[in-house]
Chains A and B, each alone.
Chain A
Amino acid sequence: MNSETENIILTDTLSLKIEKDLTKPLLITFTTTEKTQDSTFYPKIFIDTIPGVKATIIERYIHTGKVQNSYTTNTQTTINLAPNSNIEYIKIQDECLKAVHSSSFIGKLEQGATLNFFPISIGANGSTNKMEISLLGQNAEANIYGFYQGRNEQRIENSIIMDHASPNSISTQRFKAILENSAKGAFTGRVKIAKNAIGSNANQLHRALLLSDQASCLAKPELEVNADDVKCGHGATVGQISEEELFYLMSRGIPRKNALKLLFIAFTQEIIDMIENNVARNICELHLSKTYDKKIKQQKRVCK
């Protein structure tokens, strides 16, 4: 049990209302064990806030069994942000590698509310994350900073509907992915701007790092703009580890293995650094750090 967080451990439904500012992040952990086999779970979370509150919430899925087993998690999270509330929400999916994880995240933001959402997918053989954010009030702001990674046969799919329903609403979608072996990633980011949502600003960027010839990633932006005087931007890149960066680090005495580790950390850090709460950021880094060494083994040797 972590004393730096307020802890909740459950396997079913959680309904809560945030009525005051939380100094410690609220950590909601769903745990499966080696006894979990051929089952399906339906965890549900409902969160409401009162106006003006500020909190950090972590929703995470972990597997504690030594043996990998197959099961399905089908999650649903709904969060309603009252006017001027500010929620940092981190979802860590670190299931066992035989599991299937399917999640739906629905966020509704009233006037002046801010949601910073961090969907992070590390585990599960198949992972589908649907996110639907509605910017219902003026000046509402939703930022999604996502990271996912896959190796072997992992499949990861993220789809977003960002609905700008009010004037001067702001949204960001920034995703990073690291895929290796035959892993496949897909990203669909739809931005809808309603007729009255003038002065809205939406931007989207998806960057994938492919570590093998078999890994692939499909990133698809979709814009549906019905208002004038709005700003919308999108971009997607797919690349490999930069040989120039690798050489630069090695030319300073850093061995290839350590240099690659630094470059992986650097790639994900841009997302993780956006997490404001230190404890929450550390928890994320802990989940990510164990994966770096595995990836390093996958890199082809190109030096020499």
Chain B
Amino acid sequence: MIKIENLTATVEENEILKGVNLEIKKGELHAIMGPNGSGKSTLSKVVAGHPAYKITGGSIKYLIDNNYVDLTTLEPDVRAKEGIFLSFQYPIEIPGITNLTFLLESFNQVCEHQGAPAMKEKEFRYFLKPKLEMLQMSESFLERSVNGGFSGGEKKKNEILQMSVLNPRLALLDETDSGLDIDALKVVADGVNRLKSADNSIVLVTHYQRLLDYIKPDFVHVLYKGKIIKSGDKTLALELEKKGYDWLIS
């Protein structure tokens, strides 16, 4: 699905990624762990195309129509239309636009690109209903402004709602567990598990092993100082939980 090779990237002149190598195949679920400031969020933002992050070296190749294309030349909206989804660590509040307007615009833009028919509001509400239920969100969320006054947990649920609407091929979930109480965590994890399929790939960026109790990764990577220093299966996460990161660093 995606091949990242020797990727280096800066933000405000600071080099954050210092040669990341990562390949994610269709149907795989990867977890990227690491201490604060190791570059986890940067990696996901670079893949999604955040303008503040500059790629200084290496490559990101993404599978579109059975060809690996250079992802870095695509605008963020085109990346989204091609199936890349970033669940934000801190979802942005946009007062003045209702969640429904936002979701519908987003959905129809992606549909148009993929050659699917656009939906009208009434039909779209019907389409959203089971998705809202899955995330235990009330329909009143649709009438509120985008993330406006949402609690931390509601914002994260709203991210997963967007994921379920866009049905991405590659979802990057950046600290989706942070700010969630245990009940909300279960709901969100359940949502992610249901959206997981053999045709898509998911990357969980997380600080703690807690989320991995509910979503089982195929691979676990440790990102430290801008490089992946260790990769393994899910037992690596348990080991990290027990021993911390120090044993890998020294």
Contacts and interface: CB of A to CB of B under 8 A. Distances in A.
Interface of A: 242-245, 247-256, 258-259, 262-263, 265-270, 273, 302-304
Contact of B77 (A244, A253, A263, A268): A253
Contacts of A252: 77, 80, 102, 106, 109, 162, 166
B94 interface: yes
Q: Which of A244, A253, A262 has the most CB of B within 10 A?
A: A253
A248 B88 contact: yes
Contacts of A253: 77, 80-81, 106, 109-110, 113, 166
A262 B101 contact: yes
Contacts of B95: 266, 270
23 contacts: A244-B92, A245-B92, A247-B50, A247-B76, A249-B94, A249-B102, A250-B77, A251-B49, A251-B50, A251-B77, A251-B80, A251-B86, A251-B88, A252-B166, A253-B81, A254-B109, A256-B75, A256-B77, A258-B109, A265-B96, A266-B95, A269-B97, A304-B51
B178 to A, nearest CB: 18
A253 B116 CA distance: 14
A302 B51 contact: yes
B173 to A, nearest CB: 13
A269 B75 contact: no
A266 B98 CA distance: 9
B96 A250 contact: no
B216 to A, nearest CB: 27
Contacts of B81: 253
Contacts of A263: 94, 97
Contact of A247 (B51, B162, B166): B51
A255 B105 CA distance: 10
B44 to A, nearest CB: 11
A251 B96 contact: no
Contact of A303 (B75, B85, B110): B75
B22 interface: no
A170 to B, nearest CB: 23
6 A-B pairs with the lowest CB-CB distances in the bound complex, closest first: A266-B96, A253-B80, A269-B96, A252-B106, A248-B92, A250-B76
Q: Which of B92, B96, B106 has the most CB of A within 10 A?
A: B96
Contacts of B97: 262-263, 265-266, 269
Contacts of B85: 251
Given A253-B77, A304-B75, A243 B109 contact: no
B76 A262 contact: no
A242 B93 CA distance: 11
B91 interface: yes
Interface in B96-139: 96-97, 101-102, 105-106, 109-110, 113
A247 B97 CA distance: 15
Given A251-B48, A304-B51, A266 B77 contact: no
B229 interface: no
Interface in B56-86: 75-77, 79-81, 85-86
